[in-house]
Structures are given as structure tokens and as C-alpha cells.
């Protein structure tokens, strides 16, 4: 099994090089990202366009071009839901790489959902979930990404799930380390939205390629079953971000609504990005617009403008 996967990955890597030269990593966007004096680059998370994607108003293959042409963004973050049956499809992945190269776009990460609970208390189920993620590690490597984003979910007490999640993440991190892919966990509901809990899991894992993806707006621990938009128990987003930043290999700039001055109504971007900067972080901050008032395109533009304004003020 492992030998087959290594053979597949080697074969895919060769095909990717033949298709794109060096699989988007040699693009001007990538070079600019490495040379920039600012403390973070801006990427676009595909979830910002989830309404258009689910409605079939746009296709996953159009994402790189839209990021560049409509928003002037040269780094992208994919969501596996929008090409969930294509992780091992070399022809499809080559087309993604071609679109990326044609638009001078760098692939940064893939957000993974629906592949099982890495914190499942049942060892067999947990290992199955870990192995389900292998193909996405391989796909991320093929696409020139640095990272996959996963979830530390499980059912049980906080201590039980923490122990199980640390095991699942360690196993997946070990696989990722063999091909140079980071495995990062987002605060994504339940225990993971407790900054102290998730930072504790990171300390248990203690692997250089396993880290966090702090999301400014995902600190709801418990939602109302009758209305998921209503949060019944939340964690302080500034405290949580500060706790997760020592392990961060990316940051997700969640946005929903804006005031007349262009500031996000729920998150003080100046305050939270100062926490990001003070942590010593230098990397990529992804736009993840989720609002309902503005269109997806306008919400992305508003978030980008706000990030640029605050970045300039803090630089």
C-alpha cells in the first residue's frame, strides 16, 4: 500500500513537471511572495465563493483565473469539496496546474473535509480517517501546495478527544513529512474552537510539520441545533488567536459584514492582526468571506481592502 502510494506520487510529480515546468512554484507570484517585505501575503480561500460553486455558477477549474483577474490575488486555497473525486485524477490535476500557470497563481493549501474524524476514539476508525487523508497529501504535493488543512474532530470528553486527535494528527503528520507537506488544524467548531484545547493538542503532537490555521471567526464551540447561525457558547477570538499563533502555518481572515468605514463588524482587524504580527508570523493570510449582505465578489474585495489597509498600518 505504502509502496503503491509512493510510486503514484512519483509518477504524478513527473507528469506535473512535464505539464507545467515546475508546477506553479516557479511563478512570479511565488517569487514575489518570498521576496516581499510585508509580514503577510494575501491569498483567496475558495470557500469565499462557495455559493457560486455549489450553485454551479462557477467551476473549481475557474478558481485560479477568477482570483487573479477579478481580485488581483495570486495565491489560492482550495476546498476539497469542489473536486472531491479528483484527488488521484492526474489529467484533472494537470488542468488545475495549467490554469494556475496561465494566470500566474500559486497554490498554497487544500482544505479537507468529509474524510473522517482524526480524533475518533475508535482506533480503527481513526486510522481509516488518517488514511483517507493520504490522497489529499499526495494531491497537495502534486499541485505545488505547502499544506493541507484538516479538522481535529471526535466525540467524547475533551481529554479523550485531545488524546485521540493528537494520535491521528501525529500519524498523518508523519505521512506528510515524507513528502514535505504540512498538516494544519483550523479552529472549526467543538473542542477545536477552544484555543487552549487546540494548542494543547499541538503540544502533544510536537511535530514541525503539524500546526494550526487560526480562523478569526470560528471560535463558536457550541451552536444552536435549531439555528446553526446562533452560537450558544463561544471562545474569545483574540485570546484564541494568541494561543494558536505559536503553531500557525497560515491564518484565515474570516469576514461577514462591514461598516461604512470598511471595517469588519465582528472582528477588530487591527487588534487581531497585531496579535498575528506580534507572534512573529510571516506567511499567508487567506480571505474567507462568509457574509450574506454583500455579494461574494464584493465581500472578497472589501476583505482584501481591509487587510491591505491594516497591513500597511502595521508594517
CB distance 40 to 73 below 8 Å: no
Number of residues that this document lists for the chain:
315
For residue 311, give the C-alpha cell: 497591513
Q: Would you state the pLDDT for residue 228?
A: 78
- At residue 43, what are phi and psi to the nearest 5 degrees? -120, 170
CA–CA dist 163, 119 (Å, integer): 8
Q: Would you state the pLDDT for residue 7?
A: 45
* Secondary structure (3-state) at 214: coil
Q: Would you state the pLDDT for residue 36?
A: 56
Q: Would you state the pLDDT for residue 19?
A: 41
CB distance 240 to 193 below 8 Å: yes
Strand segments, DSSP code E, in 120-263 are: 147-150, 182-186, 210-213, 220-224, 227-234, 251-255
CA–CA dist 13, 208 (Å, integer): 24
pLDDT tens per residue across span 153-192: 999 999 999 999 999 999 999 999 999 999 999 999 999 9
Model confidence, pTM: 0.90
The torsion region of residue 90 among left (phi > 0), alpha (psi -120 to 50) and beta comes to alpha
For residue 134, give the C-alpha cell: 493520504
pLDDT tens per residue across span 265-289: 999 999 999 999 999 999 999 999 9
252: number of Cβ within 10 Å: 25
Q: Would you state the pLDDT for residue 226?
A: 85
Strand segments, DSSP code E, in the chain are: 40-45, 75-79, 106-111, 147-150, 182-186, 210-213, 220-224, 227-234, 251-255, 283-289
CA distances from 71 to 31, 108, 311 (A): 19, 17, 17
CA distances from 190 to 163, 186, 261 (A): 15, 11, 33
For residue 201, give the C-alpha cell: 493538542
- At residue 189, what are phi and psi to the nearest 5 degrees? 100, 160
Domains of the chain listed by start with CATH number: 2-314 (3.20.20.150)
pLDDT < 50 positions in the chain = 1-4, 6-8, 11, 13-23, 25-35
Asked whether the CA dihedral 123, 208, 279, 43 is positive or negative, the reply is negative
Q: Would you state the pLDDT for residue 38?
A: 87
Amino acid at each position: 500500500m505504502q509502496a503503491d502510494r509512493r510510486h503514484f506520487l512519483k509518477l504524478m510529480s513527473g507528469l506535473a513537471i512535464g505539464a507545467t515546468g515546475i508546477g506553479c512554484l516557479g511563478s512570479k507570484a511565488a517569487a514575489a511572495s518570498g521576496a516581499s517585505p510585508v509580514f503577510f501575503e494575501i491569498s483567496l480561500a475558495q470557500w469565499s465563493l462557495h455559493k457560486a460553486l455549489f450553485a454551479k455558477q462557477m467551476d473549481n477549474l475557474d478558481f485560479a483565473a477568477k482570483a487573479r483577474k477579478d481580485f488581483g490575488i495570486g495565491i489560492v486555497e482550495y476546498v476539497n469539496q469542489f473536486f472531491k473525486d479528483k484527488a488521484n485524477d492526474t489529467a484533472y490535476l494537470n488542468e488545475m496546474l495549467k490554469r494556475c500557470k496561465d494566470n500566474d497563481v500559486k497554490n498554497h493549501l487544500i482544505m479537507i473535509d468529509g474524510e473522517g474524524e482524526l480524533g475518533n476514539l475508535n482506533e480503527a476508525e481513526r486510522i481509516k480517517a488518517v488514511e483517507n487523508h493520504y490522497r489529499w497529501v499526495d494531491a497537495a504535493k502534486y499541485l505545488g501546495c505547502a499544506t493541507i488543512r484538516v479538522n481535529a474532530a471526535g466525540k467524547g470528553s475533551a481529554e479523550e478527544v485531545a488524546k485521540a486527535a493528537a494520535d491521528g494528527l501525529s500519524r498523518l503528520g508523519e505521512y506528510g513529512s515524507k513528502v514535505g507537506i504540512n498538516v494544519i488544524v483550523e479552529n472549526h467548531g467543538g473542542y477545536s474552537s477552544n484555543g487552549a484545547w487546540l494548542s494543547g493538542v499541538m503540544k502533544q503532537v510536537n511535530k514541525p510539520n503539524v500546526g494550526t490555521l487560526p480562523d478569526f471567526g470560528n471560535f463558536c464551540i457550541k451552536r444552536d441545533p435549531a439555528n446553526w447561525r446562533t452560537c450558544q457558547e463561544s471562545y474569545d477570538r483574540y485570546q484564541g488567536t494568541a494561543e494558536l499563533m505559536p503553531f500557525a502555518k497560515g491564518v484565515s481572515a474570516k469576514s461577514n459584514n462591514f461598516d461604512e468605514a470598511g471595517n469588519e463588524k465582528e472582528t477588530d482587524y487591527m487588534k487581531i492582526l497585531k496579535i498575528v504580527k506580534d507572534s512573529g508570523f510571516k506567511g499567508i493570510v487567506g480571505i474567507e468571506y462568509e457574509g450574506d449582505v454583500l455579494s461574494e465578489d464584493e465581500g472578497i474585495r472589501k476583505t482584501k481592502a481591509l487587510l491591505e489597509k491594516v497591513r500597511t498600518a502595521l508594517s
